Structure formats: structure tokens, C-alpha cells
A and B are shown apart, each in its own frame.
Chain A
């Protein structure tokens, strides 16, 4: 049974994009489209979640994701409480479910959870009372569904459709929850060719089974792409002997204007942030005309509004 869906097929929690039907993904993107206009108005709020309390539980630091969740919740008129738990009770040894129970006793309606352990959001979702929804804001190497959705929203806005695209995901796929969510969403939405490009040490074994084509060099991998998604190279990977150096990585897998020229002339460049300029992406590309990296951040608000609105409604039926 899919813990994310109610018996009648509505969204109950958002934990992963793996196994979510295309109709739900499309409904989220369509709803987000309606929320885009709200950001342009005199009053940038709608009253949908008035009286609801949303707790941002960040067991791992994040600026962009936490801030856009907070803005999204506020635009829905919810009350938002941000907890950075790395610096709070967890350091005193409180168990994660005790933290959740205490917050539920404060009448929480929704938890937005970021945790370094894969499965943390699922664990909380199985534990909470029926009226509480859980949104996974990134768990370990597993999933980051709202990032995956905002990337799909970005692609749809610039490319119009999914059925005729070639999309490349470049870099550290092995450690990337973002890449996993993107791959599930792209294949569910009908993108015919999804490529992953990276050194062997940074691609998971058996990644082909997710329905992607594997490339180990940029020249072949980028040829003819409509969308190029760069992943963040985490600096700690250098220490784990997976890579010789960041200069070496940039030489082979960094996105430069020359390499980008191999993709289609109207290809867009995406990055989930935060960027390492000069490691996975050159500044000329990040700030260049094909980059849609800042629009991704703006779209993240509308997409997170859509997810929270779909989760919070109809729970008292």
C-alpha cells in the first residue's frame, strides 16, 4: 500500500516521487501554475490554510529549501514554525518521535521534514495522527520530491511538454536525492530519453534499471540535449577518494560554454543549488542566457504551495 495516498487516491503525504501516478504529478504542476499568479498580486496571499500550523523540522541545515517552504506556507496563510533541530533537543538526546509527539501536542497540522538519514520522513509519516501530513524536504540520499517537482515545473514552463525531450543529469548522481527524484518524475511524465553523465565512481551501479542511459563523457552525453541539469558536487567527496581534485573534475565534467554548445542551441541549464562555481559549472554558464537557475527558485514557491494546499485540504472529511 502506498502510504502517500488516501484509499481514494488523493495525496496524503509527499515522501517520494517514486510510485506517484502521472495524474498526481500533473495535478501538482497545474495547481502550481495557478499559484504563480498569486505572487504577482497586490496581496500575495490566499486564505486556504488559515488556522493551520506548519512545522518546518530541519534536522539538517538548508537555506533555500526551508525559506521557500516558509514563504509558500505564509502565502497560503498558514502559521509557520521553523525548528533547526541540529541545534536543539536532538543534541540533548531526544528521540525523533518524541520531538514529533511534542510538536503534535502543540496542534501541528503538517510537518516539513529535512533529515540526513534516508527514510526519516517515511518514519515520521507512519507515526503521526491521521490529520497530520508530512512533506519530505530531503532525506539522506533517498528523495527530495519538491525539488524534483519544481524542476519538472521549470522544464514544462520552458519546453511546454515532456514527450519530445532529451534530458541530461550531470554529476554526482550516486549521492544525490535530487537526481533520484528527478529521474522518477521525468520517466513518469513520459520523457523519452533521460541521460545520466558522470565518472563511474559517482554513478550508482545498476542506475540503468531506473530507465536512464549512462554516459561517462560530456561530449557524447550532452549532444542533442534539450535540458541539462547540473548536480552539486559535495566537497566531502574529494576526501573519500572518489575524485582526484575539483580542478580535475571541472576539466572533465564541469559545464563550460564550449561543452554546453554541444547541446541543442535552445537547451536550458538547471541546478538545484547551492552551486560550486568553477567545480561543476562555470560562472559564464550559471549567469548566462541559457541558465534558468534563479527562475527555479521562484517556481519552487508555487510548487510548494501546490503540494501543501493539496495535502491540507479535505482532512476533516
Chain B
């Protein structure tokens, strides 16, 4: 199963190529912790953005908080630019139900009113539960509900996808 998954670096290169012509001078990239930040870092490098990259931890915005509680390792969100009036490219590793993206958008709006938000994901695995679709997807793959597709980072920084 693992062998059939494409190489992450080439998926990110394709994503960058698709995104590049759509960027405005002040578009900022925002990665969602943790896998989305890894992908966003790569895109930020490939696209040579002048702005620093932003990161979001959506733990304080999750819709399952009252059921499962606070994630034990919350990381600070960091948006080192003014969100108000800015074009944003939101980046996550895997789009599944869409609930993480919804939470991320809610959080972004608490920093200001962005001019636009577009969504780039490494993998759109299906199983959407909300009307949220990616503007850019490296890979569209229908993963059965009982399976998970995960992005992991090796010690040398190498990113790999795996099905479990």
C-alpha cells in the first residue's frame, strides 16, 4: 500500500506550480499545525514569498472540545503580519471532514478580516462533512472511511505519506 503513494516532494512541487500564478504581491501563507506547517514551509520556500509565514494551532477553535477536551500539546498560533485586508493561502496536509479548515477560518477572522482565503492541501482524501473544497490539491485520493492517510516527517526533514 505504502509503495503506491506518490513522493511528497513532487506533490509539493506540483502544488507550488499551480499556486504560483495566482499569488498577489501581499499573499501570505498560513500553515495549520502540525502537518500543514510542514507543507507550508516547503511551499513558502519554493514560492519565495517576501512575507514571513504564519502558523495556526486550532485547538481553541475545535468543535469537539466539549467531547474530547483540550489537546494536551497546544502550540501558540503565530501570524507575523496584519490579517486585515490580506490575501491568505491556508495550507493543510490532509483534507478530510473539513472541520479543521472551518476552525482555522474562524480563528483567522479573530485576527482581522482577510481580503480572501484560498485553501491548498497536500491530499484531499474525501469524506467531507462540510461545504469546504480545496482550491489546490496535490493529490485527490478516495480513502475508505476506516482508513487514515498520514503525513509524517522523518528526522532528516523528509516528508512521507502513509496509509493505515
Contacts and interface: CB of A to CB of B under 8 A. Distances in A.
A129 interface: no
Interface in A283-315: 309-310, 312-315
Contacts of B85: none
Given A34-B74, A37-B76, A46 B67 contact: no
A310 to B, nearest CB: 5
Nearest to A32: B74
**Interface size class, chain B:** 20 to 34
B106 interface: yes
B61 A314 contact: no
Interface of B: 57, 59-61, 65-70, 72-78, 83-84, 106-107, 109-112
30 contacts: A10-B69, A30-B74, A31-B70, A31-B74, A33-B76, A34-B57, A34-B59, A34-B74, A34-B75, A34-B77, A37-B76, A42-B84, A42-B110, A42-B111, A43-B109, A43-B110, A43-B111, A45-B110, A47-B106, A48-B61, A48-B65, A48-B70, A310-B70, A313-B69, A314-B66, A314-B68, A315-B66, A315-B69, A316-B66, A316-B67
Contacts of B107: 46
A254 B60 CA distance: 43
Nearest to A40: B111
A234 interface: no
B61 A47 contact: yes
B68 A46 contact: no
Interface residues of A, number: 25
B88 to A, nearest CB: 15
Contacts of B77: 34, 37
A302 to B, nearest CB: 11
Contacts of A37: 76-78
Contact of B60 (A27, A30, A33, A48): A48
Interface of A: 10, 27, 30-31, 33-38, 41-43, 45-48, 309-310, 312-317
A34 B73 CA distance: 10
| Among all A-B residue pairs, the 7 with the closest Cβ atoms | A314-B69, A313-B69, A43-B110, A46-B60, A34-B74, A34-B76, A313-B70
Contacts of B72: 27
A317 B67 contact: yes
A60 to B, nearest CB: 30
Contacts of A30: 73-74
A71 B67 CA distance: 24
B20 to A, nearest CB: 30
Nearest to B57: A34
Nearest to B60: A46
Contact of A41 (B57, B65, B73, B110): B110
Contacts of A31: 70, 74
Contacts of B83: 42
Contacts of A33: 76
Contacts of B75: 34
A34 B59 CA distance: 10
B112 to A, nearest CB: 5
Given A30-B74, A37-B76, A42-B110, A309 B66 contact: no
A121 B27 CA distance: 51
Nearest to B70: A313
B69 A310 contact: yes
A47 B78 CA distance: 18
A35 B76 CA distance: 7
Contacts of A313: 65-66, 68-70
Nearest to B65: A313
